[in-house]
Amino acid sequence: MSQHPYTRSYFEDGTFGYHMYRDFPTHWRIIEILKTKKPASVLDVGASRGYICKHMEAELGIKAVAMDISEHAFHTRATDSFVLHDARKAPWPFKDKEFDLAISMAFMEHLTEEEIPTVMREMARVSSRAYLTITFDKTPQDIDTTHRVFKPLEWWMAKFKEQAPDYPVEIMSVEEAKKIEQTPIELPQPDGLVKLNIGSFLDMFHYGWENIDSQDLTQFALQNGYLFKQLDITKGIPKPDNSVDILYFSHFLEHLDRVQGQTFLKECFRVLKPNGMLRVAVPDPKILCEAYLKHTIMDYKFVNVGVEKAPDEAEALFHLLIAGHKTIYDFESLKKILESVGFIEVERMPPFKSHSEAIEKQTISMYCTLSLYVEGRKSEIKQEMSSKAKLTLKATSNSKLKIALISTPMLTVFPRNYGGLEDVLGNLAEALAKMGHDVTVFAPNGSKVEGCEVVEFGEPLERVNVNWLEAERKAYNFYKDMLKDYQIIHGMNWYGMEYAYKAMNPQAHVLHTHHGGADPSWWCRSKPPFNLNFIAISKHMQQVYAQQGIPSRFVHNGINLEKYPLSKEHGKRFLFLSRICKFKAPDVAIHIAKTANVPLDVVGATNFIDDPNYVEQVKNLCDGEKIRFIGEVDHETKLKYLQNARAIIIPGRWGEPFGLHSVESLCCGTPVITLADGGIPEIVKEGGIICSDVQSMIDAISMIDKITPNSCRKNAERFSRQVMAQGYLQLYREILSGDEW
């Protein structure tokens, strides 16, 4: 292989390249972009470890091949679809037009001007089209000192035209890509399985995996969207018997001696469900000893800093197999200890294959060229279980749950007109009931929820300027004695009175979904003697709560898609749809419409507000023709406005917790023009334009017709009430199994 700087130090040390390069959210942003290209197959040139290809194969089921010059990337690759090749050398080891789409992410700028033509010609030979990101300008913030060429977009496009005249190429600047990185990305969601990645270090997984390490990696996990718990696992796994579907640990077991290892494996067996899967990776002594005997052991300098510094091959073998470890396992010894604990069907596995689809698609085998991979299953339980174990199994199975959902005293469920929180709670209740669960809704008089019992606790207040705390306390005093028979007590209110019940009944399983900011004078007064099981309605709010010291999970809100039919024909008028209050900024929507010279309808609640004078100010900005003030409407009328609108305008800057109106709009096939505010960018992907400022929103008016109703609807389907209910159901079962936060 040619000389190059892309060694272990480039990917790990941060001196001239990356610091601890891992599977970052930016890979998922790229995948979202690539999905819009609808490729039949992909070649990633300069792919590093191939994270993007790994995920594209798993998510899209297409052929995705990574090609890179780096031996370090090869030894630590995320995918078996990896070709170690210097892109500067022609021909590339692929057939003509073997790939539909060639991609390269911040790769081309690493080439010299003399090397670029060869890469362009080969890219055009092996693929039908290309999508690239390139750094155009050198900046002090650029962490990568190996960039060689800084040229503008026009230069790159002219160069491609010169080398491959008929080759379709799309180029985004790395600077543009970094701007996109400021918006939240939809990372893979939990799949309903309980999965533990033990001794994860920074090699964490999404899809609901609980990544566990004795080091405090909380900040890394929060920044990159992983679930993480800091635990000393040698003191036991804090999970009930028979509660975990999959256990995975890579290069962890060898750090325990044989007695500690057997004790730990017994814990693994205890917490796994019958037929649960265990996967273990350890350094493979046979592979490493063969490399030593063949004098190729120094190749692992690309992986291990000890080998980099080793004066000879014997010292290199020591660092790979013994240094920092307390024992060594080969397949035979690992199989023996696993079977002694009770595991069956113990097998050696290839690095990128598994008997578990979740393991194969969701995990990354970090050191595939030097590791031994072994899988086993927990046998069926033969002995009679204790009554406690039986109760745990019953609670965490797919059995029917008895659930209490507690609403606010403000509005009925469902609300008559305005009422996002109450609408979400009603949809969750009905979706859970349709799944066969026994759901009771505690809500104001007049509430009606199909398939659920409703306990009414007083007339709805239907106004803002009241003592909300006292109203919730009064409602709680009415229903508190009715909560004892529920397996799950789930509050969706503002002061979390359900925790008062938990304080008096520690055995109760309680959680709370918060639909806005958590007032620190109430929520951060003192640390309670139990886990809150706090739920955010967006990743944005999860981050806000984390900054307040409140750990949380998140479940996106969902709507009843059937109540928002797709309309493929839309009118010419734009729509503002929200409460008529300052932080929703209808005055800004009017300014945008007037500046762009387009008609606008202003629709929204005028009763549930705190400043009637502002409503009058907004009315005075409307002329009754081009800018019409409509005010509060019922669902059927709101639906007509949504289905007829050319687009909905969302100009608020208050840190929108979620943005239910954006989902309703997309569901009707109506695109969204919005500021990158709060949680809304998590919703508006396909089906809208996310803007950085008001001028950008004005500019977006002329581009909005490029978005199709079908793309809007497809995006909205991610936020169905069924998806929401599945997300909550997973959290309910985790809480019942003893996994709280």
Tell me the pLDDT tens digit for each residue of 593-623: 999 999 999 999 887 777 889 999 999 999 9
Give me the pLDDT at residue 389, please: 38
Same-domain status, 370 and 406: no
Same-domain status, 112 and 20: yes
| Section 260-269 average pLDDT | 94
Same-domain status, 675 and 710: yes
Strands 453-456 and 534-536: unpaired
Of 157, 180, 203, the residue that ends a domain is: 180
Same-domain status, 489 and 604: no
pLDDT at 136 over 50: yes
Residue type at 97? K
Q: Which two tokens stand for residue 737?
A: 């199994």
Confidence of residue 433 (pLDDT cuts 50, 70, 90): very high
Is residue 316 situated within a structural domain? no
Q: Which two tokens stand for residue 489?
A: 């007590």
Give me the pLDDT at residue 387, please: 40
Integer Cα distance of 197 and 211 in angstroms: 5
Is residue 190 situated within a structural domain? no
Q: What is the pLDDT of residues 84-121, one digit of tens each?
A: 999 999 999 999 999 999 999 999 999 999 999 999 99
Residue linked to tokens 């490029």: 706
Residue type at 528? P
pLDDT at 691 over 70: yes
| Section 470-477 average pLDDT | 96
**CA separation (Å) from 700 to 72, 168, 292, 675?**
44, 26, 62, 11
Same-domain status, 476 and 533: yes
Is residue 427 situated within a structural domain? yes
Integer Cα distance of 643 and 629 in angstroms: 18
Confidence of residue 2 (pLDDT cuts 50, 70, 90): low
CB-side neighbour CA atoms (13 Å) of 368: 21
Same-domain status, 698 and 678: yes
| Section 718-740 average pLDDT | 92
Strands 272-283 and 227-230: unpaired
Q: Are 551 and 509 in contact (CB under 8 A)?
A: no
Is residue 240 situated within a structural domain? yes
| Section 67-79 average pLDDT | 95
Confidence of residue 174 (pLDDT cuts 50, 70, 90): low
> Mean pLDDT of all residues in the chain?
91
CB-side neighbour CA atoms (13 Å) of 567: 19
CB-side neighbour CA atoms (13 Å) of 382: 3
Q: What is the pLDDT of residues 546-599, one digit of tens each?
A: 989 999 999 999 999 999 999 999 999 999 999 899 989 999 999 999 999 999
Which of 24-38, 149-163, 196-210, 443-457 is predicted least confidently? 24-38
Residue 411 has a CB neighbour count (10 Å cut-off) of 24
Give me the pLDDT at residue 462, please: 86
Confidence of residue 384 (pLDDT cuts 50, 70, 90): very low
Q: Which residues contact 101 (CB under 8 A, 6 or more apart)?
A: 34, 37, 39, 40, 41, 42, 43, 127, 128, 129, 130, 131
Is residue 145 situated within a structural domain? yes
Q: Which residues contact 378 (CB under 8 A, 6 or more apart)?
A: 269, 272, 273, 274, 275, 276, 278, 342, 343, 344
Is residue 392 situated within a structural domain? no
pLDDT at 182 over 90: no
Same-domain status, 658 and 708: yes
Closest CA to 426 of 608, 605, 557, 514: 557
> What CATH number is associated with residue 265?
3.40.50.150
Same-domain status, 240 and 108: no
Alpha carbon 655 to chain centroid, angstroms: 19
pLDDT at 380 over 70: no
> What CATH number is associated with residue 472?
3.40.50.2000
Residue 441 has a CB neighbour count (10 Å cut-off) of 25
Q: Which two tokens stand for residue 617?
A: 């100010």
pLDDT at 392 over 50: no
Q: What is the pLDDT of residues 298-343, one digit of tens each?
A: 999 998 899 999 999 999 999 999 999 999 999 999 999 999 999 9
Same-domain status, 490 and 635: no
Is residue 313 situated within a structural domain? no
Closest CA to 514 of 524, 527, 502: 524
Same-domain status, 63 and 119: yes
Name the domain count of the chain. 4
| Section 349-363 average pLDDT | 93
Of 346, 378, 410, the residue that ends a domain is: 378
| Section 133-157 average pLDDT | 87
Give me the pLDDT at residue 398, please: 53
| Section 193-211 average pLDDT | 95
Residue 434 has a CB neighbour count (10 Å cut-off) of 14
Q: Are 329 and 253 in contact (CB under 8 A)?
A: yes
**CA separation (Å) from 391 to 125, 240, 242?**
63, 11, 11
Give me the pLDDT at residue 465, please: 81
Domain around 413: 398-559+724-736
Give me the pLDDT at residue 675, please: 93
Q: What is the pLDDT of residues 17-69, one digit of tens each?
A: 778 888 888 898 899 899 999 999 999 999 999 999 999 998 888 999 999 99
pLDDT at 205 over 80: yes
Is residue 325 situated within a structural domain? no
Confidence of residue 390 (pLDDT cuts 50, 70, 90): very low
Same-domain status, 598 and 732: no
Closest CA to 111 of 2, 19, 30, 21: 2
Confidence of residue 13 (pLDDT cuts 50, 70, 90): confident
What one-character DSSP code corresponds to residue 13?
Answer: B
Integer Cα distance of 450 and 225 in angstroms: 36
Same-domain status, 551 and 575: no
